[in-house]
Amino acid sequence: MGLKLTNISEQGKFERERVVMRAEGETEIGDYAVFCCKAGSDGIPLSGAMIAGFWFQNKIIKDGDLLVLYSRAGLPSEKVNDGGHTSHFFYWGASEALWTTLRVAVLAETPSWQVSDPNRSTSTD
């Protein structure tokens, strides 16, 4: 997997809470989605208990770059850090804190997908 979840920061503090990921190699982030899921007391996501999802826009990022996904609304941006790596900022657009008690982030690789629409069918395969 080209992205690795590193942490959820400022959980429950809506304006500041964010999921942080790091690229392990050059990575097409449009192949990834993050899901907010209900979890049991053991921290394992419950089957069928997805609350919300965020699918990244197509963009190549470099090895060591950070992806920072804020829960609130905002405009995507980026900043070059000391050492030459870039932090890429994205915004979920949620109206309240996502990362409350018994919720976990699930990072999924989604290089192929399919749309169900009564008028057409589309996929990346």
Domains of the chain: 3-123 (2.60.40)
Separation between Cα atoms, residue 88 and residue 67, nearest integer Å: 5
* pLDDT reading at 51 higher than 70: yes
For the entire predicted model, the pTM comes to 0.87
When pLDDT is averaged across residues 86-96 and rounded to a whole number, the result is 97
Q: How confident is the model at residue 121 (pLDDT cuts 50, 70, 90)?
A: low
Q: Report the phi/psi class of residue 23: left, alpha or beta, with left for phi > 0 and alpha for psi in -120 to 50.
A: beta
